[in-house]
Amino acid sequence: MDPRQNEITAPKLIGALRRYRLLPAIVFMQTRRRCDEAAIDVAHDLSQPLDTARVDARREFFEQSITSLPEIAAHRHAKVLVNAGVASHHAGHLPAWKLTVEKMMSAGLLDAIFATSTVAAGVDFPARTVVIGNADTRGNDGWRPLTVNELRQMTGRAGRRGRDNVGFAVLVPGQFQDPRRISELLRSEPEPIVSRFKATYTSLLNLLDAFEDLEQVREITEKSFAFRRKFKRPGGRDRLAREIWEPFERRARVLDHLGYIELEAERVTPDGKWLADLRIDRPLIVGEALRRGSLVEIEPARFAGVIAAIAADPERSYGELRTTAALDDRLSEIEDLIYSVGNVELRFGVQPVEELNLSAAAAAERWASGMDWSELAKRSRAEEGDLIRLMSRTGEALRQISDLKEDAAYSALARSAARAVLREPVR
């Protein structure tokens, strides 16, 4: 059999695993859509056996879960979960739904979960078997081969502690399947740990404010994991200067130009001290918008829309809603500000920030204006999980702005906007 052809259907796969007593299973699939479709296909397959006692147990469990997580009651896969004992689990679902699925799996009530490979690193599902349908995975930049670490995370989910003597990893045919590649990965050494240490405006402001000496800030960076790895290599110190310290120096010149630090005196200015408290993505844009008065006399919903546009993942779509004319005017001002700050960054060798996410702005504006959650999900056509993360990130950014002591008006406005965003089911 050519492993890249003759892809097995989800119902046939679950049937085969059941015959060989390999359930419960985690079935890793390429996309969120495939996970959802697989769960529905199994639920609609009449050849799947029906265990009424387990159905009753799942229904009781689900109904009890609704008392603390009411948003799952109307979930589109609720009947699939209860009646078929299978579920889709990925970042597009509500956190409350994923939590319910995880608890039901841990309670031994489910036969299979269809999940994307990213779930392998974050959740410890008790499963007898993991099923791998592809040797590739899809990221932000398209398809790429699985890494050793990713495959080990996936296969490491096989085997229930205290219940299975061994766990099973099963390869099935698929468009991106390659058994030889999987075998090589399983025999290979894991990839080295990659440092996530980055030069950011916030980290520079906080370090300089704490130590009041750029040389000490440099010493701190040289104690990082990234330094220790790079310094051991040929030309390591020069590489360190290029990749770790020079980005700090370039950002220091940007902050000096904009008045957040005094580079010659090596000190943080009063404006820099409150900017350092904004531990959010793109703090410089938010700080400049507040300082330049780009957000004065604005309603809370519009304020939330602006912050969402800045804080959201730039490449993620949050649906098909449109911003109002009032928000468009504010976003136009912010785009002018981004262009102005970007010119300063380019002058000192810093890559400017990405453009605003208008779909995020529209979704946050409607939600903060009082739109019902089910209507928001329906009208935007965005994944509920993505919307939850957007609102949570926006609400946290608004809370941080509300904590700034320097401007009571902005604090009150941000606090009001945060309340409008951080309402159920957003947590």
Beta bridge mates, 69: none
State residue 165's pLDDT score: 83
Q: What is the DSSP string of 41-60?
A: HHHH-TTS---HHHHHHHHH
Burial letters 128-144, b for 16+ CB under 10 A, else e = bbbbbbbbbbeeeeeee
Of 76, 93, 106, nearest to 32 by C-alpha is 93
CATH for 10-187 is: 3.40.50.300
Q: Where are the alpha helices (DSSP H) in 277-407?
A: 283-291, 300-311, 325-347, 358-368, 373-380, 384-402
Q: How far is CA 413 from CA 358, 403, 407, in A?
A: 21, 11, 10
CB neighbour list of residue 130: distance below 8 Å, 6 or more residues apart? 25, 26, 27, 28, 154, 155, 157, 158, 167, 168, 169, 170
H/E segment holding residue 78: helix 78-79
Q: What is the pLDDT of residue 212?
A: 83
Fold match flag (10-187 vs 280-427): no
Mean pLDDT, 10 residues at a time, the chain of 427 residues? 66 96 92 93 94 96 95 93 95 92 93 82 77 78 79 84 85 84 87 71 91 83 60 61 80 96 94 89 90 89 96 88 95 94 95 90 97 93 93 94 77 93 89
**In whole angstroms, what is the distance from residue 116 CA to residue 119 CA?**
6
**The predicted structure's pLDDT at residue 33:** 92
Indicate the CATH number of 280-427 among 3.30.1490.20, 1.10.3380.30, 3.40.50.920, 3.50.50.60.
1.10.3380.30
According to DSSP, the residues that pair with 145 across neighbouring strands are 136
Domain ranges of the chain: 10-187, 194-276, 280-427
pLDDT score of 4? 46
How many Cα atoms within 13 Å fall on the side-chain side of residue 285? 25
Name the token pair of 27. 């079935």
